[in-house]
Amino acid sequence: MNRTVSVPFLFIIFFSFCLSACVSTSPNAYKSGHEGSGYPLNELPLYGNMPKNQAMKKTDQDFLNKVERLEPSREKAAKEYVRLGWEYFNRRDYTVSIKRFNQAWLLYPNSYGAYWGFALILEVRDNKTEEALIMFEKGASFNPEEGNFFLEYGRMCEESGQLDKAVTLFEKGLGLEPKARTGYIGLVHVYTRKKDVKQLNYWVDLAEKRKVFSAAELSTMRRTIRKIER
């Protein structure tokens, strides 16, 4: 699933070239860990949501000053850090990934991309689905513009048994990304669990109309529907 936030191409080239000056300011300031977590504060979502000491505050301000010299818009800069967060997440380097998501949040606290990243780190690295869903809920309050945000949020809700909420999220995601396979798969999963043949037929028919699945995949889905009808 594509989680990359789109930012202007020339900005990416320039910003990435200068990035090495900004990503590792005074790393020792965050060396101490959160009691019971096993991770330093900069490897916890929202820096562990803990009060910061003077060394941490200075590290943060130095980072913000350096970034602002490269890109005055914190929102744009945050999008680049989110992009880097997903780059490392996809490499399964969660140590660096969470640091980039935290820096994105530090730059722009209303970054839905940062909260999306926190949610996936909590799910994949920490196996904390309930906390991950809280991060998704917070991120959704910032009006995400990517359908995949809602589709992934819906997937997590469906897996945790929140079927009605999952339906709402899958439909919202498909409203933004009408041909996203994961949205239709999610709805098929939900309505199979609900044994709702009418809705299953509706979404499979729509997927066929939009050429989302192969003929073989559609055939498998229709066989599943026939079994439910019996």
pLDDT per position as a tens digit, 80-121: 999 999 999 999 999 999 999 999 999 999 999 999 999 999
Higher per-residue confidence, 137 vs 37: 137
Please state the rounded mean pLDDT for residues 114-136.
98
Provide the 8-state DSSP code for 7: -
Q: Cα torsion for 161, 48, 145, 73, to the nearest 10°?
A: 180
| pLDDT recorded at residue 137 | 98
196: its two tokens: 């709702």
Query: What is each CA distance from 63 to 25, 69, 79, 84, in whole angstroms?
Result: 6, 10, 16, 16
Please state the rounded mean pLDDT for residues 118-131.
97
Q: Which of 23, 13, 6 is nearest to 97 (CA)?
A: 23
Q: Work out the burial of residue 129: count CB atoms within 10 Å of its CB; fewer than 13 is exposed, 13-18 middle, 19 or more buried.
A: middle
Q: Cα torsion for 37, 28, 81, 178, to the nearest 10°?
A: -10
Which pLDDT band, with edges at 50, 70 and 90, does 50 fall under? confident
- Residue 36 falls in which region: left (phi positive, over 0), alpha (psi -120 to 50) or beta: left
| pLDDT recorded at residue 21 | 45
Answer yes or no: pTM beyond 0.85.
yes
Among the ranges given (38-52, 159-173, 197-211), the one the predictor scored with the smallest mean pLDDT: 38-52
Give the count of domains, the chain: 2
One domain, residues 139 and 79: yes
Give the domain extent around 45.
1-144
Distance in angstroms between the alpha carbons of the first and the last residue of the chain: 35
One domain, residues 12 and 123: yes
* Single residue among 112, 144, 176 that ends a domain in this structure: 144
Rounded to the nearest 5°, which phi and psi values hold at 92? 65, 25
User: Which residue reads 């910003």 in tokens?
Assistant: 15
One domain, residues 30 and 121: yes
One domain, residues 139 and 153: no
How far is 97 from 92, CA to CA, in rounded Å?
A: 8
The number of beta carbons lying within 10 Å of the beta carbon of residue 141 is: 10
| pLDDT recorded at residue 25 | 45
One domain, residues 10 and 55: yes
Please state the rounded mean pLDDT for residues 57-67.
94
One domain, residues 176 and 140: no
Helix (H/G/I), strand (E/B), else coil: 33: strand
Helix (H/G/I), strand (E/B), else coil: 44: coil
Number of H helices, E strands in the chain: 11, 0
One domain, residues 185 and 72: no
One domain, residues 113 and 153: no
- Is the pLDDT confidence value at 15 over 80? no
